[in-house]
Structure 1
Amino acid sequence: MAGRLNRVDKDAERPAAESATAAVTVLWRAALAADLPPGALAGAGAFARTALDDAVWLPLTRASAEHTPALADAEAVAERAAAHPDSPHALRLTARLVAHPTQAWLDEAVCRHARTLLQTAAAGPRDRHPDEIAELRQALVNAGQVDAAHD
C-alpha cells in the first residue's frame, strides 16, 4: 500500500491523492484493530517514505510498532520520527525501534536518529513528555548507548 500511495501522491490530481490517502488510512486502522498474528504489520514501516501527514503517520506507526516492534524501513521511520521531538508518539515509536532492531547493520543509524530525537526532546520544557523521554533514554542505554544516560 505504501508504494502505491507514493505513486498516487506523485502522479494524481489532489482529490485522487486525498482519496487514496483516506483509503490507506482506513485500511491501516482496520489492520491495527484486527487480531493479526505477531509480525503481520512489519511492512508498516514503509509508510515512512510516503506523504502521509505526520499527524496521521506518527500514531499509526507507533501503534504498528507496538504490535510488530521490528518494522521494515526502521532507519527511515527513525529519521522521520526524529523530526518530531514534541510528539510522544515519535518518542515511543523510536524507543520501540531501538529496543527491537530489525537488522544489525541498521542499529547504528536508528540509534543515531534516536539520539538526535532524545537530545532535542530533552532540551525542551522539563514537563513535556518525561515518561516518553525516559523510555527512549532507557532503550538507548539498553542498546549499549550508555552515554545516552547523560543526554
Structure 2
Amino acid sequence: MSLWQAALTVSLPDGALAGAGAFADMDMDETTWLNLTLASARHTPQLDNADDVAQRAAENPGTEQAAQITALLVAHPSTAPWKDATVRSHARRLLTDAGNLPTGQRPEAALQELREALITAGDVDAHRLGQDTEMAP
C-alpha cells in the first residue's frame, strides 16, 4: 500500500497507474481503498481489472468516491472491452442501491455524474436509476 501511495505523489506519465486496478482484491479498509483508487482513476481512468474495481466500488453506494470511480470507468472504456458491460452493470447497481438510501446519505452530485456517464455510454434508461421513487415517473 505504501508503494501505491508513493506512486500517487510523483509525476508519472499518462497510463502509468493502470495496474492499480489489480488492487480491487486487496484486503484493506474501504475508505483507504476508495481514496487511493479514485486518485489512480483520475490519473489513469482506464484501470486494469475495471470490472473488479466497479464491483468493489458498487459495494459502497453511499460514498462519493465510489460513484466517481465508477463514473470514470464508464466514461473511459477499458482496454478489455468485453469487461465494459460488467462495469456498466455494477454502475447501474450502485445507482439503484444509492437511490434506496435516505436522501441525506446519498452523494447526489457524484451520482448525477455517474448517471450522465451511463447515458453518454448509451444506457438511456440510466436517467431513472437512483431517483426517489416518489418523484420518478
Structure 1 stretches of at least 4 aligned residues deviating more than 4 Å after TM superposition: none
Matched, 1:58 2:34: yes
Q: Take 1:150 and 1:44, find their aligned partners in 2: how far apart are those partners?
A: 32
Deviation at 1:125, TM superposition (A): 2.4
The one of the two structures with greater contact order (alpha-carbon pairs below 8 A, sep at least 6) is 2
Residue aligning to 2:48:
72
* Equivalent of residue 7 in structure 2, options 31, 37, 51: 31
Q: Could you list the per-position Cα deviations for residues 6-44 of structure 1 after superposition, in whole angstroms to 9, with x for gaps in the alignment?
A: xxxxxxxxxxxxxxxxxx2x2211111111011000000
Alignment root-mean-square deviation, CA: 1.0
> What is the TM-score of this pair, normalised by structure 2?
0.89
Percent identity, aligned pairs only, is: 51
Q: Take 1:75 and 1:138, find their aligned partners in 2: how far apart are those partners?
A: 19
Q: Which has the higher helix share?
A: 1
* Equivalent of residue 135 in structure 1, options 99, 102, 113: 113
Question: Rg: which structure is higher?
Answer: 1
Residue aligning to 1:11:
none
* 1:122 and 1:133 in contact (8 A); partners too: no
Q: Which runs of 5+ in 1 are unaligned?
A: 1-23
Q: Take 1:92 and 1:122, find their aligned partners in 2: how far apart are those partners?
A: 16
Equivalent residue pairs, number: 127
Q: Could you list the per-position Cα deviations for residues 110-149 of structure 1 after superposition, in whole angstroms to 9, with x for gaps in the alignment?
A: 0000000011112222243110010010010011111001
* Equivalent of residue 117 in structure 1, options 79, 83, 94: 94
> What is the TM-score of this pair, normalised by structure 1?
0.81
Deviation at 1:108, TM superposition (A): 0.6
Q: Could you list the per-position Cα deviations for residues 52-89 of structure 1 after superposition, in whole angstroms to 9, with x for gaps in the alignment?
A: 22121111001100000000000000011110001111
Residue aligning to 1:45:
21
Q: Take 1:130 and 1:55, find their aligned partners in 2: how far apart are those partners?
A: 19
Amino acid at match of 1:69: P
